[in-house]
Structure 1
Amino acid sequence: MKPALRVGGAITSLVTPFRDDTIDTVGLMAHVEWQLLSGIDGLLACSLTGEGPVLTAAERVRIIEICAELAEGRVPVIVATGTNNTATTIEETRQAQALGADAAFVTLPYYSKPSQKGLVHHFERLAASTDLPLIIHNLPAHTAIDLTPATVARLAEIPTIIGIADGSGDIGRISTWRPLLPERIGLYSTHDATALAFTMAGGRGSFSSAANIAPRLFRSMQLSAACDHMATALLIDDRLRPLLKALAREPEPATVKHALSPIRDISPDVRLPLTGVEAETDAAIRTAMASLQLAYQSDASSPRTFRTGL
C-alpha cells in the first residue's frame, strides 16, 4: 500500500473520447493534459463517465497508461475497477496497479444485489488480493444496494480502504458515517449538484463529471471550501448551477461529451446503449455554456482557437 496517498479536492471523472467507435487517443491525451494544466487535483479513469462498462480490456489498458504517463506523479491517478464479480474486480484492480494507478475506485457490485455481509466479504477478498489503496463507490441509483452504517463500520477495519465516495446526494451521510471512520478514510461526493454542500459538511472533495468541462472552476470551488472561503465557493457553485442542471437532463457521458465537443474538439460520440442528446438538452447545454462564456472562436483561415479559461 502507498500509506502517504491522500486524495482530495476536485477529481475529474474523465470522459473517454471516441472517433468512429475507436478511442481517440490523441484527443484523450490532449484532454488529460488540459485537465492537469488547469490544476485539477486528480484523475479518475474508466468510470461510468468514461463509459467503463463498454470498454474492451485493451482499451482500458491504453487509457490507464495514458493517464499514468501524463500525470507523472503530479496528481493521483485513480482507476474504476468495480464489477459485480469479485474475481474480475480483483483482476482489474491488479492490472490497474501494474499499469501505474495510485488507487482503485470500486463501485458496489451491481445487479446481483448482494447482502451487506456479501459486500464486506467482497472488499475483504479484494483487499487481501492487492495492496492498492481502495475507494469504495456507493451509488444506490445504479447498483440497487446501499451501504448501511454497520457495514461502513466493518469496512473501516480494512486497512487499504482510504475513502468512500457517495453518489446518493444525501448530505446527512457525512454526520452518520464520519464518526465510524478513522482519519485515513475520506468521504467524497460523486453527485455534482450537491458536491459543495457535501464538502462543506465535512467531505474531502468530489469526483466530478462536469469538471471535464470547467476544471478550474471546480478546483477553485473545492479549494475555497477547504480553506473556509465559503462565500467564494457558494458564488462559484451558483455560477455552475445552470450547467449542472443541463447536464443532468440525460445520462452524463452523453451530455458531458456534447458540452465538450465545441470547446475541446472532443467528439460527442457515445457507445450503445447510450445515445446522443435530444434537441431540448442540446439547447439547455448551449444556454448554460454561454452563461459560463465557454465557447470557441474560429475563422476560415486559422485553426480552431479555444478560449476555455475555466
Structure 2
Amino acid sequence: MFTGSIVALVTPMDEKGDVDQIGLKKLVDYHVTHGTSAIVAVGTTGEMSGLTHKEHIDVVMRVLDISDGRIPIIAGTGANSTSEAILLTRCFNNTKVVGCLSVTPYYNKPNQEGLFQHFKAIAENSDLPQVLYNVPARTGCDILPDTIARLSEIKNIIGIKEATGDLNRVNQIRYLVNDDFILLSGDDVSALDFMQLGGQGVVSVTANVAAQKMRRICALAADGNFADARYINNKLMFLHKALFIDTNPMPVKWACKFLGLIMHDTVRLPLTSLSFSKRKIVEQALIRASL
C-alpha cells in the first residue's frame, strides 16, 4: 500500500468552490478501476492549504468512506505548526486510514534539529505509519539525508516522499537507512529513474489522468523491466512536464475536467484557473500521451 503508483488526488470543487462530493466518488472509483496502489487525500495536489480544517478532515473521511476498503487511503496531515500537524494526525488515529503523509514545515524554515523534533513529536502522537514529505521548492525547507536517517529509527516513521528531483538523494538516503525504509519519488519527471536507483514507487500527479499507465510503469519497474517501463514513460514525459506548466494543481485539475473526470477545474484563491494558452499545451500533452 506504500509502494507503486500512489495518486496525489485532486480535490474536485463546484463552480462556487465547494467540495464536489459526487466528483470525489467518480475519482476514487476511477483509481480503483485502474489499479492505483493507494490514494493520498488532501496533500499538496489536494489543495490542503486552501481547505479549512473541517473541510480537510471531511474530504479525507469522505474518500475513506467511498473507497470502502477497495483501495488504501493515506491522509495528508502536514502543517508548518507542529501542534497543528499533531491535531490533524490525531483526527485519523482511530479510522481506517492506513497512514499519514506529513510535509516539512513551510515558511518558518526550521533547522535540521527542528525538523527532527517536529516529526518525532508527530510520530509520538500516533500509531499510524508516517511518511515524511520533502518538497523544498514549495516549502523553503529541505530535510537532509542525515536527518531522515535519524527519523527512520522511530518505529512508525516508515518512509519518505522525496520531491527534490535530485536523484543523488536516492543513494544518499538508502545508504543511511534500513532496507525496509520506503523511498517514494514525488517528481513524475524523474520517478522512473528514482525507482531504477532503488525507490519503491511514486506519489504521482500524472496518475490523476493516467492512472493505468502509471500503474503499469511502476509494476514493470518493480519487476526490473525498465526497458518496457521507459517506453511507456517516454510517451508520458511531455505530460509529466505540462502538468507543472503552472502552479500545481491548476494544470492537472484542468486536465481532469478536459477528460471528463471532474465537472469543473475550480481552484481556490490565491490559485486561479489555467490560462487559455496553457490549456492548449496540456491538451496537446494529453493527446501525445494517447489519453
Measured against the shorter chain, the TM-score band is over 0.9
Q: Could you tell me how far 1:144 is from its partner in structure 2?
A: 1.3
2:185 alignment partner in structure 1: 189
In the alignment, is the contact (CA less than 8 A) between 1:61 and 1:99 conserved in 2?
A: no
1:290 alignment partner in structure 2: 287
Unaligned runs of 5+ in 1: 1-5, 295-310
2:173 alignment partner in structure 1: 177
Q: Could you tell me how far 1:149 is from its partner in structure 2?
A: 2.5
Aligned pairs (5 A) from 1:237-276: 237-263=233-259, 264-276=261-273
Say which of 149, 154, 161 aligns to 2:150.
Answer: 154
In the alignment, is the contact (CA less than 8 A) between 2:145 and 2:169 conserved in 1?
A: no
In the alignment, is the contact (CA less than 8 A) between 1:64 and 1:99 conserved in 2?
A: no
Task: Tell me the distance in 2 between the aligned counterparts of 1:22 and 1:224.
Answer: 39
In the alignment, is the contact (CA less than 8 A) between 2:93 and 2:128 conserved in 1?
A: yes
Q: Could you tell me how far 1:67 is from its partner in structure 2?
A: 1.9
Q: Could you tell me how far 1:200 is from its partner in structure 2?
A: 0.9
Over the aligned positions, Cα root-mean-square deviation in angstroms equals 1.2
Letter paired with 1:211: A
Seq. identity, %: 35
Task: Tell me the distance in 2 between the aligned counterparts of 1:266 and 1:293.
Answer: 21
Larger radius of gyration: 1
1:132 alignment partner in structure 2: 128
1:13 alignment partner in structure 2: 8
* Count, aligned residues: 289
Q: Could you tell me how far 1:64 is from its partner in structure 2?
A: 1.3
Normalising by structure 2, what TM-score?
0.96
Task: Tell me the distance in 2 between the aligned counterparts of 1:99 and 1:273.
Answer: 32
Task: Decide which moves more: 133-142 or 277-286.
Answer: 277-286
Letter paired with 2:102: V
Deviation string 1:156-209 (CA, Å, 9 cap, x unpaired) is 111100111111001111111102112331001111111111011100100001
Q: Could you tell me how far 1:242 is from its partner in structure 2?
A: 1.5
In the alignment, is the contact (CA less than 8 A) between 1:103 and 1:134 conserved in 2?
A: yes
In the alignment, is the contact (CA less than 8 A) between 1:16 and 1:23 conserved in 2?
A: yes
In the alignment, is the contact (CA less than 8 A) between 1:14 and 1:212 conserved in 2?
A: yes
2:278 alignment partner in structure 1: 281
Letter paired with 2:143: L
Letter paired with 2:230: L
Task: Decide which moves more: 175-184 or 81-90.
Answer: 175-184
Say which of 109, 115, 122 aligns to 1:119.
Answer: 115
Letter paired with 1:279: F
Q: Could you tell me how far 1:42 is from its partner in structure 2?
A: 0.4
Higher relative contact order (CA 8 A, sep 6+): 2
2:66 alignment partner in structure 1: 70
User: Counting strand residues as a fraction of each chain, which structure ranks higher?
Assistant: 1
Task: Tell me the distance in 2 between the aligned counterparts of 1:253 and 1:96.
Answer: 24
Task: Tell me the distance in 2 between the aligned counterparts of 1:21 and 1:277.
Answer: 15
Task: Tell me the distance in 2 between the aligned counterparts of 1:266 and 1:195.
Answer: 29
Normalising by structure 1, what TM-score?
0.90
Q: Could you tell me how far 1:279 is from its partner in structure 2?
A: 2.2
Task: Tell me the distance in 2 between the aligned counterparts of 1:108 and 1:75.
Answer: 26
1:227 alignment partner in structure 2: 223
